Amino acid sequence: MYNRRHAVLGGKLQSEIRTPSDFDTAAENITIEQVKEVIRISSDPQDHLEWLREYSSSGFSKIFIQDVSDDQSSTIRMYGQLLNNV
């Protein structure tokens, strides 16, 4: 989750940061809780199922999912199982 801390910074600040080390400095005090306020992050499949149902009932016909884990094959299997329950 820490590789997504930059999302908390906001667009204007992100456009002004010049180097990766500047990003690290700007984001060093951002907590996981702050990241979770702007990005839906969870390792619990039930959270993902709830979010998929919410999107589906809101009328979304396409949902794009980004896996940032080191084990993408497990994520693909998890979503394959979850999609049968949406």
Nearest to 52 by CA among 10, 85, 18, 5: 85
Which residues, 6+ apart, have CB-to-CB distance to 35 below 8 Å? 1, 2, 4, 5, 7, 8, 41
**∠ CA 13-35-49, rounded to 5°:** 135
* pLDDT higher than 70, residue 79: yes
When pLDDT is averaged across residues 76-86 and rounded to a whole number, the result is 85
Q: Which two tokens stand for residue 74?
A: 């497990």
Q: If we measure between CA atoms, which residue out of 52, 53, 45, 1 comes closest to residue 27?
A: 1
pLDDT tens digits, 7-55? 888 777 778 888 989 888 888 999 989 999 998 888 899 999 999 899 9
* Residue 31: DSSP 8-state: -
